[in-house]
Structure 1
Amino acid sequence: MSLQSILGNFALILFVLTIVTGIIWFLDMFVFSKQRQQVADKALAELDARNARLTADGIRVDENDRHELRAKLLRQPVWIEYSGSFFPVIALVFFLRSFLFEPFKIPSSSMLPTLFVGDLILVNKFTFGVRLPIINKKVIEINDPKRGDVMVFKYPVDPTVDYIKRVVGVPGDKIVYKNKRLSINGNELSYENRPDFLDEERLSYYKQYNENLTGVGHNILNDEQAPTFVNGPHDFPGHELCTYGNDGFACTVPEGQYFMMGDNRDNSQDSRYWGFVPDKNIVGKAFFIWMNLGNIKRIGSFH
């Protein structure tokens, strides 16, 4: 694994920090603190004997000296104090983002008009099954992704990168995208006109439709100037299950994999280009926008 991959894997960094600070906390609790106590007991016993002699000789002793010496000898070294105090916080964050919820930031406009650039979203990590952190291996089955779910996953071409798209096809589905309209298993989806959408990043208006994805309604964008064909699809695993033409493409989704598309249909690099997403790449289901520093009105749930 390259240094760039390690630095880009925040879960791995948190895991290492949790282990390191946990070991230090454990050693201090059961080893170092006892050693400090032994040293303090010996030093205090010597001090008590000395003070007893001085008192017998009629010399007054300052009891504060004993308290200061005890506090000094039992005080944790700075590196242990900081490590021990950080451990429960780091461990809690690691548990929360590994098994419950993980935050992400939307970096591109591929999911417009559903998600905007700069949206800070929360992803449910357990709804599609409990997975071990770092290796992302599923250990407990819960739910499978459904058509219409907005899902975060490891980019099949480079698993160190996280992508977010909408689930369009589940295992066994026959996906046909012709003239910018979807059909699933022979059933053409319904589309309703919506007001044109202004993409402020590109300063362009796009046609907007509400697409009924087998019961899940959501808005999509189409660029009338963009071609209907897929320009330069990759030679991805399972590409033989797809056929491409001048007016679109057709794909059959293999077992254990999913077909993903961005809602900004003509400005999204998705399964049309780089192929299917295997179950092992799933990170979780996106469900809530918790902040957008440029527009706080964006806060809330989305479809």
Structure 2
Amino acid sequence: MEKIKKIYKFSQSWTGTVIIVLLIIFFFIQAFVIPTGSMKNTLLVGDFLFVKKFSYGVPTPHIPFLEIPILPDFDEDGHLIKAQGPKRGDIVVFRNPRNPKEHYVKRCVAKGGDEVVFANKTLYIRMSEGDEYMKENYAKNLVWIENKLFVKEPYSQKGIHYDDRVNTEATFLKHLIGNDLAMKPVIIDGFGEVGYSGGNAYYYEVSEDEYFMVGDNRDHSYDSRFWGAVPYKFIVGKPWFVYFSWDEQKLVRWDRIGRFMDTLENNEKFIRYHESDLDALE
């Protein structure tokens, strides 16, 4: 009882408060703001989120804003405690593999051992568990590609969409010329004419312990299609709920505050779309 009293008294002091807050930030919860429109219509620019940092293990803690690690990465996996990584379909906060001080949020569409094909504004995944698993879980979405079974658009969340005004082939070609395309142009029978890239589709095989991340705003997202899959060591956590939200004019979106991710990505009432935000890849 005496120890409890001492702990309570310590927690009421300035030092105790700071230490408790830092422990929470380092190991449990992190605040994150959506800076771009790559996850529309699910998450909007100006959504402020709390992220559960213990969803996929415990990441090596970093000093906020400076992003300097305060402990060594003992196993070189980016985590103090390793756990199972993201599942397909999860929305994930992770460090940009090209700039680990920068955080991204995207949807995990494939994991280690999966094969990814992107063509004609359509995503196809061959899942590493094999044909029987796909037949059992995705019977209505199966297609054959080059004598292999794939799942066509396996994710049905309402915020996932394409923009008919965007020429996807031109976008991919621009990134290919700039040596900024992770997916390989391939020729697949039945997928239309071969473009200037040398293919009519794009292919990527995900390495073990890596995750292929794509924005729900498919034609306005700079993601794994361009810079490759995300190693587990860069995985931070899973968005939990929106604690504040405002739009481009700083008007508060009261209806989004306090909403959990499951609601935001599945309830059509909260799906928002703004034409003004479709300027470029984000």
Task: Specify the alignment match of 2:86 in structure 1.
Answer: 145
**Counterparts of 2:17 and 2:156, CA distance in 1:** 39
Q: CA deviation at 1:86?
A: 3.2
Aligned to 2:237, the other structure's residue is in SS state strand
For 1:26-84, what per-residue CA distance to the aligned partner results, in whole angstroms no more than 9, with x for missing partners? Answer: xxxxxxxxxxxxxxxxxxxxxxxxxxxxxxxxxxxxxxxxxxxxxxxxxxxxxxxxxx9
Amino acid at match of 1:222: Y
Task: Specify the alignment match of 2:45 in structure 1.
Answer: 117
Amino acid at match of 1:106: I
**Are 1:276 and 2:224 an aligned pair?**
no
Seen in structure 2, the aligned counterparts of structure 1 residues 213 and 222 have a Cα distance that, compared at 3 Å, is: closer
Q: CA deviation at 1:273?
A: 1.1
Amino acid at match of 2:116: I
Seen in structure 2, the aligned counterparts of structure 1 residues 170 and 218 have a Cα distance that, compared at 3 Å, is: farther
Q: Check whether the contact 1:148–1:216 (CA below 8 A) recurs between aligned residues.
A: no
> Aligned to 1:128, which of 56, 72, 78?
56
> Aligned to 1:87, which of 15, 35, 38?
15
Amino acid at match of 1:175: V
**Counterparts of 1:265 and 1:273, CA distance in 2:** 12
User: What is the TM-score of this pair, normalised by structure 2?
Assistant: 0.63
Aligned to 1:139, the other structure's residue is in SS state strand
Q: CA deviation at 1:219?
A: 2.6
> Aligned to 2:175, which of 232, 249, 255?
232
Q: Check whether the contact 2:41–2:217 (CA below 8 A) recurs between aligned residues.
A: yes
For 1:226-251, what per-residue CA distance to the aligned partner results, in whole angstroms no more than 9, with x for missing partners? Answer: 12322314657x94xx3125444110
Residue-pair matches, total: 198
For 1:123-181, what per-residue CA distance to the aligned partner results, in whole angstroms no more than 9, with x for missing partners? Answer: 11001001221246313233320111111111111111111111011001101111111
**Counterparts of 1:276 and 1:214, CA distance in 2:** 18
Task: Specify the alignment match of 2:215 in structure 1.
Answer: 262
Task: Specify the alignment match of 2:146 in structure 1.
Answer: none
**Counterparts of 1:110 and 1:281, CA distance in 2:** 19
Seen in structure 2, the aligned counterparts of structure 1 residues 212 and 115 have a Cα distance that, compared at 3 Å, is: farther
Q: Which runs of 5+ in 2 are unaligned?
A: 1-11, 63-68, 128-133, 142-150, 187-194, 247-251, 266-282
**Are 1:100 and 2:100 an aligned pair?**
no
Task: Specify the alignment match of 2:253 in structure 1.
Answer: 295
Task: Specify the alignment match of 1:173 in structure 2.
Answer: 114
Seen in structure 2, the aligned counterparts of structure 1 residues 215 and 180 have a Cα distance that, compared at 3 Å, is: closer
Q: Check whether the contact 1:292–1:298 (CA below 8 A) recurs between aligned residues.
A: yes
**Counterparts of 2:221 and 2:155, CA distance in 1:** 23
**Counterparts of 2:210 and 2:161, CA distance in 1:** 25
Runs of 4+ in 1 over 4 A off after TM superposition: 186-190, 211-216, 233-236
Aligned to 1:269, the other structure's residue is in SS state coil
Q: CA deviation at 1:87?
A: 2.0
Aligned to 1:232, the other structure's residue is in SS state helix
More helix by share: 1
Name which one, 1 or 2, has greater alpha-carbon Rg.
1
Q: Check whether the contact 1:222–1:264 (CA below 8 A) recurs between aligned residues.
A: yes
RMSD: 2.8
Q: Check whether the contact 1:102–1:122 (CA below 8 A) recurs between aligned residues.
A: yes
Select the structure with the greater relative contact order (CA < 8 A; seq sep ≥ 6).
Answer: 2
Q: CA deviation at 1:92?
A: 1.1
**Counterparts of 2:260 and 2:152, CA distance in 1:** 19
Task: Specify the alignment match of 1:75 in structure 2.
Answer: none
Seen in structure 2, the aligned counterparts of structure 1 residues 171 and 218 have a Cα distance that, compared at 3 Å, is: farther
**Are 1:222 and 2:175 an aligned pair?**
no
